[in-house]
Amino acid sequence: VGQGVLEKLVGKHAMFDIVARSEEGKETQISVDCNFGELGDCGRKRYAVGHERNEYLFDVQFPDKHPGAAGTIAVNSDFDKQGKSVDIYEIRVSIVQ
C-alpha cells in the first residue's frame, strides 16, 4: 500500500475489498495480515474462499498520524500446507462515510 494512499486514509475509517477466488474444485481459506507502519495493522483476518469470484471485506479505523512509509497487505492462501492457490483480482480501499 503506497505511502500516498495511506496519507489519504489518516484519521479515516477505511473499507478494504479483496476480490479473489480459489482454483477450480479446491475451496480453501486465506489469511490476511496488514502492516501499515505507524498507522498500525488490520488484525489477522481469515476467509473461506470458493471457486466463484467474490469479495472479502475488512475495515480499519486509521489513527490521525503521519504514515512515514508504505505499508503491506499479505494474503496467505496455503496456511494449511495443502498446495491450494488463490487468484487475487484486485485489492481496493474506500473511505467509509
**What mean pLDDT do residues 72-76 have?**
94
- Mean predicted confidence (pLDDT) in 59-63: 96
CA angle 4, 33, 68 (to 5 degrees): 30
How would residue 91 be classed by pLDDT, with cut points 50, 70 and 90?
very high
User: Residue holding cell 476467509?
Assistant: 47
Q: What is the pLDDT of residues 4-24, one digit of tens each?
A: 999 999 999 999 999 999 988
CATH code assigned at 12: 2.60.120.260
Rounded CA gap, 39 and 55, in Å? 24
Distance CA(84)–CA(74), nearest Å, equals 16
Q: How many domains would you assign to the chain?
A: 1
User: pLDDT value at position 73?
Assistant: 96
Domain that holds residue 74: 3-95
Mean pLDDT of the chain: 93
End-to-end CA distance of the chain: 21
Beta bridge partners, 53, equal: none
Q: Is the pLDDT of residue 25 over 80?
A: no
